[in-house]
Structure 1
């Protein structure tokens, strides 16, 4: 007999992480380095609930409500919480082994009156980097003294950034067009390794020049143990299909363009990398295609061109039990058919899909028997 998943090579995991959905009173944040979802409920003392696929149990605690949170992340050992409430300052809170807090917060402001914090990433257990409008600020956090020590500052014009924790790689976009990318690695405590910068080829350069390469179209991925910068290149006209361009990161020279994946579609896309396969989701057609760069493609001597290994197919439908609107139906739960490829979906690497309005975090599963 055919199995339930036989006609679906991409499935959402059967037991998603459930959290309180986004509402007027509740905000949701995702730390893609630690794979943790934070549901933050404001009003009086700020209530925070943290969950994640790798967590044995949820963690809940309270913080003083001193304004809306912009970003919130634990250090990798979950002993220090960093929360950004303003464009100038990040606040810190120490945690004990039992996940209780000492309730005494401390903070660090960025350098320069006109400087703004665009975001921050934990690079080591007690090290954090502020990505600002004028560069990088690298700090050591000293929790027992409730203070931070500045390790290094790098000046750089920054449009946006992408952080890949597994490879300790921070990718920075600079220049007017945004297509000059600077890779930095933080593999050794206290040390920033600056890799050669490189330029992404844009399909068209606007006049006058303006930001044309956005963070939503770039990600970093490890594919077959090689580090790639993955760039979604949108077509110049509706008659052409979009492409995904792979740049292989080099230690001794600029990243090298190696592969181009032909999508033959245009519109809104999202990309995951699962089991070394590149999975591209297309919202308009509600389908996904898969590429395997190990399979033979057509080469022009410099770049190898690839097509999907299978025709476009949809993710397997998923049902959720949600509180019933009609309480007289004899049950307080009702089955809900999730909207696949929803505009509310946000995709994170390598295999995560989040719907903040539903309050769900899934991991994607591949049915490799079909491939």
Structure 2
């Protein structure tokens, strides 16, 4: 099989319909639509293998310029001409028509919205017209009009954003986002176009502009073919900031976005370039390789000639990851080969970050992440690179655990508990312990959208966006002063508008009239009542500049600020940190339920994020990467010890508990290499977290290291591990100190008297045995009639008789 980073999967979706009037893609419903005379054929574009039989929707015959289904599939809108739209109620079999509000204006396009400001939006040559479906479902009511000269437009349902181009060169762009919180108007901005000749002014074409959503961030991608550059602009609520420019190696390019990865097709040479916006975009993620076809039958005769042709003349590249061959009636889906990318990437630390951000094939991403870490240790990569990779893995795991914990401890008034997706994303996007941000201003996902609690696995499979918020010095200069992540926002030119009603077709509306015509069985009618369910949007002012996007931000490379473990409690797998200082006490959740220590049992017993995300938890990092890492000779052992310290630091930075096996291996390596001084420093600074297991290992392996052994004893005493501390003293023959400790701590009922007596007999000192026996008689209740007394009294009498001395009691 030919190696490739991106490929199209056979079989494609085939839509060869005789008498078709065209082919369209409805990105709001992910449907491929083929209108014909009297009907509309539709296929779901996301299914693989694709469905062979389409769904058929009966409509009236006539010209069809464009068609889209409503987001709830109850209506279908058909553009019949440049001036008129037909809307059909599929449930009631009722149709009505709507013309532009302003005569002489042309309809350039339209789209359905789930925003409270409109159900259906017309993009005309004079701006935007926003309509709501009447409660009677027999007409439209005009909600608002935005006047602006429009040459062409670009819209994607994924971003809920429309860009309107105007001007002689069409390089002036104005953006509007129809989010669930209302209408957001972005400031106008101009893109740069390079002149090809001295007397020729280039005109920006719609195919050279694309709205891309990568890691929840919204970008405008502009292809400057004359300069061979791809310019990226990032959207904020009150600013559009140029981000970077990517060098193109051809004028014949096309763009897809696959799993938040920018895929640039060089159609003349047939190769693909991959860019990750969270990595170094100055160079591709991996070496360029051609696009390939996979899954085709082995018998080439069974494959049609046009199916083998790549980058055909009829290919149209749809947002985000589809290729439409309208000439031959095929729809392809572009996919990434993570294994090929991992084999070609020369930067293992950047590769780990890329793999941890994958939404598709999470198990493959986890396996390749482990392989990349193993390769880094085998090649003894620099510690800063290994530390950066471990930081990414730890941050991804902490984000996954945090979002799962908050989802399971969210308010649940009943069995039909609801969880807000925006809240789940924000929970793992901010640093642990930071206050939650304002969802309405930090996320462009519909704020009012809810899902059932049972849909948590779907949310977890969406990838853990988890980067810490941008530091002030990392933000664009335009956004550093006066920036805020709370409140409604309006900058110098930006504006935020809110709708007055809820999204939906029939909620709280009365019959109202517009300028449309109703049509039923050839008869026309109208609606005359005023609709009160929706109010025109009201303008609201606010402060700050907030980024637009589907989520606050993706998992990015970790900060270089390294810190060691603190005294605050760490999170273990499946644990929610309690609010009270007592770690063993149960606490009530926000819903009133009592959450046992360590988190909800469902999270501990069924960590769904292990299956639905590519994160590698700390125990797997140790068992599959660190435990079996090569450590031949002293340099290898010391290198592995340094890596273990980096692993401890990365877990402490995100408040995750280090597996005890990590401490055990680190102590063993340092003692084997005679680095007792370094081990003592790590213990005293609490880089190695105090525990009974660590103390027992120090006492067991550091027999010839008095300083290390004393630290182990001190650790047991500090942890109040009375039984273990006394056993250690007895093992070293310090019976007198052990008895003094038991009496001082008043733990006589914890330590069995047989431990003291057996050790005294082993030492063969009858005076010491007599002292221990007297201690047991005087201090341990019930010893006089215990089996231990009957067992050791004859032994003591025998030793005294052999020595010719009187009994000491």
Deviation digits for residues 223-251 of structure 1 (CA, Å, limit 9, x no counterpart): 22211111111125xxxxx1111001111
Q: Which one of 117, 121, 124 corresponds to residue 111 of structure 2?
A: 121
| Larger-gyration structure (1/2) | 2
Aligned-residue offset at 1:355: 0.9
Q: Which one of 90, 108, 111 corresponds to residue 98 of structure 2?
A: 108
Q: Which one of 218, 225, 233 corresponds to residue 234 of structure 1?
A: 225
Structure 1 segments of 4+ aligned residues over 6 angstroms from their partners = 205-209
Query: In the alignment, which residue of structure 2 is the partner of 1:303?
Result: none
2:78 matches 1:78: no
Higher helix share: 2
Change (3 A) 1:83 1:247: same
Change (3 A) 1:87 1:312: same
Distance, in Å, in 1 between the alignment partners of 2:194 and 2:311 is 27
Aligned-residue offset at 1:215: 0.8
Change (3 A) 1:143 1:208: farther
Query: In the alignment, which residue of structure 1 is the partner of 2:335?
Result: 365
Aligned-residue offset at 1:58: 3.4
Aligned-residue offset at 1:179: 1.0
Q: TM-score, normalised by structure 1?
A: 0.82
2:168 matches 1:198: no
Secondary structure in structure 1 of the residue aligned to 2:303: strand
Aligned-residue offset at 1:83: 0.3
Aligned-residue offset at 1:207: 7.6
2:108 matches 1:138: no
Secondary structure in structure 2 of the residue aligned to 1:284: coil
Query: In the alignment, which residue of structure 2 is the partner of 1:10?
Result: 6
Aligned-residue offset at 1:84: 0.3
**Conserved in 2, the CA contact under 8 Å of 1:17 and 1:52?**
no
**Conserved in 1, the CA contact under 8 Å of 2:11 and 2:296?**
no
2:261 matches 1:277: yes
Change (3 A) 1:129 1:207: farther
Aligned-residue offset at 1:24: 5.3
2:234 matches 1:248: yes
**Conserved in 2, the CA contact under 8 Å of 1:178 and 1:211?**
no
Change (3 A) 1:272 1:195: same
**Conserved in 2, the CA contact under 8 Å of 1:176 and 1:210?**
no
Query: In the alignment, which residue of structure 2 is the partner of 1:315?
Result: 291
Query: In the alignment, which residue of structure 1 is the partner of 2:39?
Result: 47
Q: TM-score, normalised by structure 2?
A: 0.39
**Conserved in 2, the CA contact under 8 Å of 1:72 and 1:83?**
yes
Aligned-residue offset at 1:69: 0.4
Aligned-residue offset at 1:192: 2.6
Secondary structure in structure 2 of the residue aligned to 1:150: strand
**Conserved in 2, the CA contact under 8 Å of 1:289 and 1:308?**
yes
Q: Which one of 57, 62, 87 corresponds to residue 58 of structure 2?
A: 62
Aligned-residue offset at 1:30: 1.6
- CA RMSD, Structure 1 to Structure 2 (Å): 2.4
Query: In the alignment, which residue of structure 2 is the partner of 1:355?
Result: 325
Change (3 A) 1:25 1:348: closer
Distance, in Å, in 2 between the alignment partners of 1:211 and 1:233 is 10
2:19 matches 1:34: no
Higher strand share: 1
Secondary structure in structure 2 of the residue aligned to 1:249: strand
